[in-house]
Amino acid sequence: MNKSELIAKIAEGADISKASAGRTLDSFIQAVTDELADGGDVALVGFGTFKVSDRAARVGRNPQTGAEIQIAAAKVPGFKAGKGLKDSCNK
């Protein structure tokens, strides 16, 4: 499912226009992005939790030359599925 299909599904389920559903989805995405950028977590009970994790610096290899390269530390977004979402996938 892509974004426009998700918008259509939200519009149908909430009995609202596609334009309104699109704005709602964009607002949700922006709210989650802003919270993660500020270092917070977004927990949706039964669905899952969005959070930022720290990835340590490490040594990698250039696949073309085999030379070692330094990969910098980074903060990476992640999602951990909640029980309700896991259970619905395992019916």
Record: fold of 41-91: HU Protein; Chain A (4.10.520)
pTM tops 0.85:
no
**pLDDT in the model for residue 91:** 82
Q: How far apart are CA 87 and CA 14, in angstroms?
A: 23
Residues of the chain whose pLDDT is less than 70? none
**pLDDT in the model for residue 45:** 95
Task: Count other C-beta atoms under 10 Å from residue 69's C-beta.
Answer: 10
**pLDDT in the model for residue 47:** 95
